[in-house]
Amino acid sequence: METAHGGGGRTASGERKLEHLEGMRGIAACAVVLAHFFQVLLPAMFERNPAIVHTAFDRYAPQTPLNGLWNGNFAVCLFFVLSGYVLSVKTFRGGGRKAVAESALRRYFRLALPALASVLLIWCLMAAGLSFYPETRQLTLATMPDPWSVTPTPAEAAGQTLWHTFFRYGMAYNPVLWTMTYEWFGSLSVFAVLLAFGGSRGRGWSFARWLVYAAGLRLTWNTYYLGFWLGMIACEWSRSGAWPWRSNGEVSGSSSPDNEAEAGDGRGAGALRKRRIFGGVAAGACGAIGFYLGSYPYVVPPGPWYGWLPVGPGSPLDPIGCRILGSFLLLLGLLLSPRAQRLLSGGAMRTLGRLSFSIYLVHFAVLCSWSSWLFARLHSAFPYPSAVTLAILLSIPPIAALAVAFERLIDRPLVQGLKRLRLGRGRAALRRQPGRTRSHSG
């Protein structure tokens, strides 16, 4: 598992311990989907304009921490922090620079080919005249521009995706692709640090890495790239046992012989119990504060729940920085909580995590076609809140079915194929893998 925009699983080297991050990523992908449905059907959730308010819910909820459940920007910030973490974890667990170079070699293809497939799917819908967003937009008063207003040729769609989406912050035809330039360059920054300094525990190398971290934080403050640097820092902390109330094994979500031996006598068991209590309190505090900061509203002004925070012009943080910091703290809370890790490592959560990249890429194809068409019909037959609820619920099956098909036909074969792309002696080489593993490498 190597990207927050991708699936994941386990390998023989022990990456199964990261399955809880799969669950976190899956939940974040669902938050993005809900955010876009609200952006189309309840636009007042994202901008303060009495003229577009439809219910009491979208009048009051956007200014409360509840909006963290559908704050798509918070979810995207969490994706970036997770990417910084999981791209670093192999190196900090003893992997060499060759593995980092191979991941860098695969990364563009890992992101770009599924993105291209999603755009070609959308092109098929556009060419077939299945865009119903303009009709729904007239009913909901949504301010989101129509992403399908102009039907390109397949070559134009491919060019926009493979170049502008990854090098020019473009997002033609599939609005979620705006994240890909950040994901691409953010990943390259992680690879550069890992290639230059590795994961050595030596004092000199560690000191050099922390100097680079400090410079990276300073240069990327209040930008989306900050998430990648904070993800690397979280990975370094988790492997070093930097939390005094947690042992190394507990931080990584596993047991260790030292823990078991320590628990074998009364005093050791008491000390271990105290550390776990303090760790639970710290995990809860990080998680709660992280969710609160990450749920910083879209609407301006943000309201009484958030008005006291030092966020905005002339303040240390802007809304992006606030959500990035919240994502970082939320990840720390998960790393400190074995209970939360077990909860997010269940079978359903792993499945959701495996499908998260596909859900992220294909849901707009459903939203601008089936969901928009359906809402326009429901709007005249049901009260507005009921029409919104039914449109969302009846959109879940096609999104799920399309995501499963996309994962099986596009994402999974791509991942398996990229595993064969290895660095030979001075050049890239395709090699057979000795056994089948299930990991989304970049």
Q: Among 336, 329, 178, which Cα is nearest to 249's?
A: 336
Higher pLDDT, 425 or 179: 179
Q: Which two tokens stand for residue 381?
A: 């037959």
Q: Which two tokens stand for residue 419?
A: 């595993």
Which phi and psi angles does 10 have, rounded to 5°?
A: -140, 155
pLDDT for the residue 11:
42
Which phi and psi angles does 223 have, rounded to 5°?
A: -125, 165
Q: Among 26, 6, 224, 9, which Cα is nearest to 111's?
A: 6
3-state secondary structure of 328: helix
Q: Which two tokens stand for residue 306?
A: 């958030």
Q: What is the mean pLDDT of residues 328-350?
A: 94
Q: Which two tokens stand for residue 32?
A: 């993005």
Tell me: the pLDDT tens digits for 213-252?
999 999 999 999 999 999 999 998 887 655 544 544 444 4
| DSSP one-letter string for 137-172 | HHHH---S--TTSSPPPHHHHHHIIIIIHHHS----
Element (H, E) at 351: helix 347-366
In this model, does residue 383 exceed pLDDT 70?
A: yes
In this model, does residue 103 exceed pLDDT 90?
A: yes
pLDDT for the residue 1:
41
How far, in Å, CA of 281 to CA of 244, rounded? 13
Task: Name residues whose C-beta falls within 8 Å of residue 348's C-beta, 6 or more positions apart in sequence.
Answer: none
The answer to whether residues 78 and 320 touch, using CB atoms and an 8 Å cutoff, is no
Q: Beta strand 428-430 with 421-423: parallel, antiparallel or unpaired? A: antiparallel
Per-chain mean pLDDT for the chain = 87
Tell me: the pLDDT tens digits for 330-339?
999 999 999 9
Q: What is the mean pLDDT of residues 386-395?
A: 98
Type of residue found at 87: L
In this model, does residue 296 exceed pLDDT 60?
A: yes
Q: Which two tokens stand for residue 218?
A: 């300073």
pLDDT for the residue 138:
96
| DSSP one-letter string for 80-121 | HHHHHHHHHHHHHTT--HHHHHHHHHHHHHHHHHHHHHHHHH
Indicate the domain borders of the chain: 15-430
Task: Name residues whose C-beta falls within 8 Å of residue 274's C-beta, 6 or more positions apart in sequence.
Answer: 245
Which phi and psi angles does 75 have, rounded to 5°?
A: -60, -40
Highest mean pLDDT among 46-60, 71-85, 247-261, 416-430: 71-85
How much of the chain, in percent, has pLDDT values that exceed 90?
71
Q: Is the pTM of this model over 0.85?
A: yes
Which phi and psi angles does 422 have, rounded to 5°?
A: -120, 160
| DSSP one-letter string for 188-220 | HHHHHHHHHHTT--SHHHHHHHHHHHHHHHHHH
Element (H, E) at 423: strand 421-423
pLDDT for the residue 423:
77
pLDDT for the residue 437:
38
Q: Among 63, 19, 5, 47, which Cα is nearest to 442's?
A: 5
Q: Is 411 left (phi over 0), alpha (psi -120 to 50) or beta?
A: alpha
Tell me: the pLDDT tens digits for 65-89?
999 999 999 999 999 999 999 999 9
How far, in Å, CA of 114 to CA of 356, rounded? 12
Max CA pair span of the chain = 72
In this model, does residue 352 exceed pLDDT 70?
A: yes
Q: What is the mean pLDDT of residues 50-70?
A: 94
The alpha carbons of the chain give a radius of gyration, in whole angstroms, of 22
Type of residue found at 182: Y
Higher pLDDT, 207 or 318: 318
Q: Distances from the Cα of 32 to the Cαs of 85, 109, 114, 138, in angstroms?
A: 20, 23, 18, 23
pLDDT for the residue 4:
53
pLDDT for the residue 425:
54
pLDDT for the residue 427:
53
Higher pLDDT, 4 or 408: 408
How far, in Å, CA of 177 to CA of 117, rounded? 12
The answer to whether residues 166 and 111 touch, using CB atoms and an 8 Å cutoff, is yes
3-state secondary structure of 376: helix
Higher pLDDT, 195 or 263: 195
Tell me: the pLDDT tens digits for 190-200?
999 999 887 67
In this model, does residue 13 exceed pLDDT 90?
A: no
pLDDT for the residue 246:
53
The answer to whether residues 305 and 262 touch, using CB atoms and an 8 Å cutoff, is no
3-state secondary structure of 377: helix
pLDDT for the residue 407:
97
Element (H, E) at 421: strand 421-423
